Amino acid sequence: MLGWPNPSALPLALARQRTRTMRPSSFFQRGEGELLLNFGLVATPLCKESAMHRRIATKGLVLTAVTAGLFPLTTQADDLKDRFKHYLEHEKNQTASVTVAFGAGLNTAQPGNPANHHILPREIVLRSGGVVTFMVAGFHQIIVFGQGVVQGQIAVPPTGVFIFDPAPPSSLPVHYQGLRPAGGPPPGLASTSDPSNAQNRIESVSFAQPGDYLVICNVRTHFIDGMWAVVKVR
């Protein structure tokens, strides 16, 4: 008896080939009968007593499915591909512009006010070319250091309002130094009413190159309370 090539065996062979190429999902590695059951093409369990019976039944069902144009493997794969593509686009958009709370808000006033001394979130993930929008609330000053500067390199003086006054030393490269909190523009900029340096403000900072960027509040006691974060540009 001829088993192959046999025209009636072609649909089964195609089904097996697709099963192999659709790995790694274990869903596709089950028996052909279960495969059809899972796709809802069969309402009752196939005969389990004989592998031959199952094979014969499967052949017929696969042939029927292919003939009717209902075999859904390609549709399943396309659906998964579309979902993955949508997920990647969503992630790309989510990391192109990130809003960060620089200060915990205006309803935290209390002695010492440690509840206000945070950058949230502490780990900020951004894609290269993206922007971080710092929502500054309260008396704070942003300093974003260049790549490679870590928290342990920040030498905090024993007294004073600011850590770096007027600016960090040249040994600590600066990516961006923010506005003084109602105390004038950062070094190098003439005094002006534009940009505003009101305490409650927005400062948008662009990051063109990948790397890890340390962000601190330059107010001494705020940094001591843990007001720092890292922007991870990927």
Binding footprint of Cu ion on the chain (CB under 5 A):
140, 217, 219, 222, 227
In whole angstroms, how close is the CB of 104 to Cu ion at the nearest point?
10
58 versus 218: smaller Cβ distance to Cu ion:
218
Beta bridge partners of 232: 125, 212
Nearer to Cu ion, 219 or 231 (CB): 219
Q: What's the Cα-to-Cα distance from 148 to each of 23, 106, 175, rounded to whole Å?
A: 42, 33, 11
- Beta carbons of 105 and 117 less than 8 angstroms apart: no
49, 29, 87, 232 alpha-carbon torsion, rounded to 10°: 130
Least distance to Cu ion, CB of residue 105, Å: 12
Nearer Cβ to Cu ion, position 12 or 100?
A: 100
User: Partners of 113 in the beta sheet?
Assistant: none
Rg (CA), the chain: 31
Given the DSSP bridges, would you call strands 119-120 and 97-102 parallel, antiparallel or unpaired? antiparallel
Closest contact distance (angstroms) between CB of 150 and Cu ion is 19
> 31 or 114, CB closer to Cu ion?
114
Instruction: For residues 100 and 202, give the distance between their C-alpha atoms in angstroms, rounded to a whole number.
Output: 10
Nearer to Cu ion, 215 or 217 (CB): 217
Tell the smallest beta-carbon distance from residue 165 to Cu ion (Å): 14
- Minimum distance from residue 217 beta carbon to Cu ion (Å): 3
